Amino acid sequence: MATLHQPHHRVAITAAGVVSPLGSGLAATLATLLAGRDCVTPVTRFPVDETRCTTAGQVPDDWLEKALPNDDRKSRRLHRVSRMMILALREALTQAPGYQPDLMVVGTTSGGMSFGEQYYRALQSADASRRKLPTWIANYAPQKPAIDALAAFDLDAPCQVIANACASGTNALGHGFECIRSGRYARVLAAGFDALSELVFVGFDSLQASTPEKCRPFDSARTGLVLGEGAAVLALENFETAQARGADILAEMTGYGISTDNHHLTQPHPSGIGPRKAMERALARADRAPHDVDYINAHGTATPFNDAAEGRAIAELFGPVPVSSTKGMMGHSLGAAGAIEAVITLLALREQILPPNINFRAPDAELALNIVANEPRRASPRVALSNSFGFGGTNASIVLEKFAAE
């Protein structure tokens, strides 16, 4: 039986909002990228006197006080990550008045994990106040920050949560992209969020994945990552619908690719086959060849194995394309990383810059990469790739393209 050909709908990005250690909002984020500023600071949220790593990319609390205009009991009970999501969504909706999502897809790894920590500690403490237990447990659910953000703006849309390790944010964008591309939805909010938590911080430190010094992606003497936090929201929309309403199209999302290499619980396959397959599939979806790509925002955690596998895949597939990881500036925000770095890639296309890979001292002799070292570059990128790779060999890549009105 013959099957009907299903047309592929173009996917526009019509708005974006972000909160990360780089700044609250697109303008602040761009200014930090242009300055190449290191926003990793000593951890103040919990004690780190017994850990090797003592730094992280942190979002200051005073930025989050502006999340809600009122200071009632309900708003005071919100988790920090809910406030990040509210700020990011507010910025996005300001750019797209009247935007009504059909669906929201969010990527995260831990949601309100720090409230979960407080809850279980309180159960073990005889003198702990039990009055806060309901608040802590209510905010522990990973979908809570997304629900809080939708409620803050009276939006009513189904919410899907993707928890796929450090690829979660990129997977959320990719799922939203496929939903619109297929014609099933016209508008999808895609987001990623995560907040620093002591449990996760100590876990990475115990694995010796975190560094006691600077985070140096792709450097020959790299010694590990630092953690971060933040939230980003991107408004995806059917291209024709966006044009019909006169929307400002920030960029097009044209490709999405995933793979799983199943090599090791925490280490990627050393050949780079997992990252390579994800990037190849994203390019095929976008109908692009490797030589079409002008910039790659790498996953680049600065761990020896991850950078080696990703760097090998990039060098073999793309050759001398400019590459940078912005994690040296802001830390690795886990489930939020893919969404935040998609916004950074969007800014690279819009502002015609290549974000810097800071703390870079010497190239790895085994990785033939064109690193955007320490300072941003002025360039003319039109097609960019953003990577996110996680524990368990879960890999995701997206292709964004600069939009030029015809």
Active site residues: 166, 299, 332
- For residue 91, the model assigns a pLDDT of 97
Domains of the chain are: 11-391 (3.40.47.10)
- For residue 79, the model assigns a pLDDT of 86
pLDDT along the chain (406 residues), means of 10: 63 98 98 98 95 97 83 73 96 94 93 65 65 69 89 94 92 98 97 93 92 97 97 97 94 96 73 92 98 98 95 97 98 96 98 98 96 98 96 91 82
- For residue 2, the model assigns a pLDDT of 40
DSSP secondary structure code for residue 219 in this structure:
B
- For residue 81, the model assigns a pLDDT of 92
Dig out the tokens for 88 from the structure: 């990011």
**CA gap 78, 68 in Å, rounded:** 10
Q: Compute how many other C-beta atoms are within 10 angstroms of the C-beta atom of residue 320.
A: 9
Whether 85 and 70 have beta carbons less than 8 Å apart is answered as no
Close Cβ partners of 108 (under 8 Å, ≥ 6 residues apart): 142, 145, 161, 162, 163, 168, 169, 192, 193, 194, 334, 335, 336
